[in-house]
Structure 1
Amino acid sequence: MAPACALADDSPIDPHADLLYRQALTFLEQAEAQSSGFSLKASTTDQDLAQQGQALGRTLAPAVSLLKKAVERDHPVARYRLALYYMTYLPASQIPEAACPLLQDSLAQGFAPAALGIETWCTDYSQSSAFARDLEKIPALAPRYASYYPQPAERLQCNRQQPQGLAMQWGRQRDYQAEIYRLQGNLYPGQRQVYWQKAVDLNGCFAAQQQLLSRHH
């Protein structure tokens, strides 16, 4: 893996920020394992759930702290993962204010997964010409992010499987590029079929395929 700081780009990723991000990942992976191990059996008591929640909180606290430090140093992927944390654990009414600035900055730096959070939570921005411009930049900046995948998302529309409970859906870089084409199809009605076909060609994008089929009937 080439170090991110070695990539030729206007604003290379700060190596110290990258170290903080990688440290945060260790805790995020532990939290992922804990949350996927949550038991919702009939015998699970409120006390059990509370204890599981507290244990998860103890794992997530250092992750959030490290992500915030990486964000202070402009790390685009840390911005996304911190926003994803807010999207998962904050009350819905607080999510746009907490997550949207992080998502918009991450996407402006060319990190594709942020676009999905924007689609769900940042309605004004998702209709803007700035959003459309950011989506167009993603393929050119893709090489700098190759080593950061797979990445989790709340919901991958191109994926046929529905996420279960707190579980995230994980996507490869090409899965997220297919999502970008799907979004571009939504933004540009005149070129809709071209973009949706690109999404289908890239990873068999289920949502785009359904749209194309329904238009042919």
Structure 2
Amino acid sequence: MSYHALPSTLLLSFLPLFCQAQPLAFNPKGETLYQQAAPYLNEARAKLDAVPADMPRANAEVKKQGMILIEAAGQQLKVAIPLLEQASALGHPVAQYRLASIYNYEVHTPETYPKVCPLLQQSVSQGFAPPALMVDIYCPEFAASADFLDALASVEANQERYAHYYPQPVSMLECQPQRMPTGLAMFKGDSQDFQAEIYRLQGDRNRAQRNRFYQKAVDLNGCPKAERRMKRS
């Protein structure tokens, strides 16, 4: 190998790592559409979180109050969904996650259900952490694939890219010792919460390095579930 060939050879060898650590920027129109949807999403989520947990067994007045909140949230989502659909079509990973979540929980129909896993797969494959938790539950084929493992590994490198999109709603955070949300409420996780979940998922799938990943989850936020699994291993 000549001296002059060495720099270009080294550059080529590091190019895949460089590309992974320096992802392309989001489509500007997709970002604009997501930001337009965000206030409606936040308002809808606030109303759904406020729906009484005991609504099915409550008295008529409480049921009426709950229905008012649900209907008001629905009106907000009617505005947000078309914006999210357009942003998702342009490849915006946060919009894809929020749209998949709505399709799975709030607007669960025969038409929306088949769209959930493709949206989650596209989102997590861009290094966005929250959809990984839904993939683990609802998309078993992709969750068992090498592509999912690669996506989990890319999350840490993309933390800075997504920092300003947190907190994000999620139905369950298994590393959180707090009580499970009730009714229509959801957890709101920050970047650290989701990174701990990613370590937990990596530990679940990597037998050789299981305790190393579980320890990283414990170190990050105490993750009781990872700690219990370490003790059993």
Q: TM-score range by the shorter chain?
A: 0.7 to 0.9
Q: Does 1:174 align with 2:192?
A: yes
Could you tell me how far apart the structure 1 residues matched to 2:167 and 2:70 are? 26
Contact 1:35 1:56 in 2 (8 A): yes
Contact 1:96 1:121 in 2 (8 A): no
TM-score (norm 2): 0.82
TM-score (norm 1): 0.87
Residue type at the aligned position of 2:38: L
Could you tell me how far apart the structure 2 residues matched to 1:181 and 1:94 are? 33
Q: Where does residue 62 of structure 1 map in the other structure?
A: 79
Q: Where does residue 199 of structure 1 map in the other structure?
A: 217
Question: Which of 134, 140, 143 lines up with 2:160 in the alignment?
Answer: 143
Structure 1 residues 139 and 194: alpha-carbon distance in aligned structure 2, compared to 1, 3 A threshold: same
Structure showing greater radius of gyration is: 2
Could you tell me how far apart the structure 2 residues matched to 1:15 and 1:176 are? 25
Query: For 1:159-181, what per-residue CA distance to the aligned partner results, in whole angstroms no more than 9, with x for missing partners?
Result: 12212111111111111111111
Q: Which runs of 5+ in 2 are unaligned?
A: 1-20
Could you tell me how far apart the structure 2 residues matched to 1:48 and 1:120 are? 32
Residue type at the aligned position of 1:120: I
Q: Does 1:29 align with 2:38?
A: no
Contact 2:103 2:113 in 1 (8 A): no
For residues 32-51 of structure 1, the aligned pairs below 5 Å read: 32-39=45-52, 40=55, 41-44=58-61, 49-51=66-68
Contact 2:49 2:186 in 1 (8 A): no
Question: Which of 158, 163, 187 lines up with 2:181 in the alignment?
Answer: 163
Could you tell me how far apart the structure 1 residues matched to 2:109 and 2:192 are? 29
RMSD value, Cα? 2.1
Q: Does 1:186 align with 2:199?
A: no
Residue type at the aligned position of 2:224: F
- % identical aligned pairs: 39
Contact 1:79 1:103 in 2 (8 A): yes
Q: What is the number of equivalent residue pairs in this alignment?
A: 208
Structure 1 residues 133 and 53: alpha-carbon distance in aligned structure 2, compared to 1, 3 A threshold: same
Q: Which runs of 4+ in 1 moved over 3 A?
A: 43-52, 90-96
Residue type at the aligned position of 1:22: Q
Q: Does 1:126 align with 2:143?
A: yes
SS in 1 for 2:24: coil
Query: For 1:37-77, what per-residue CA distance to the aligned partner results, in whole angstroms no more than 9, with x for missing partners?
Result: 22334344765554443222111111111111111211111
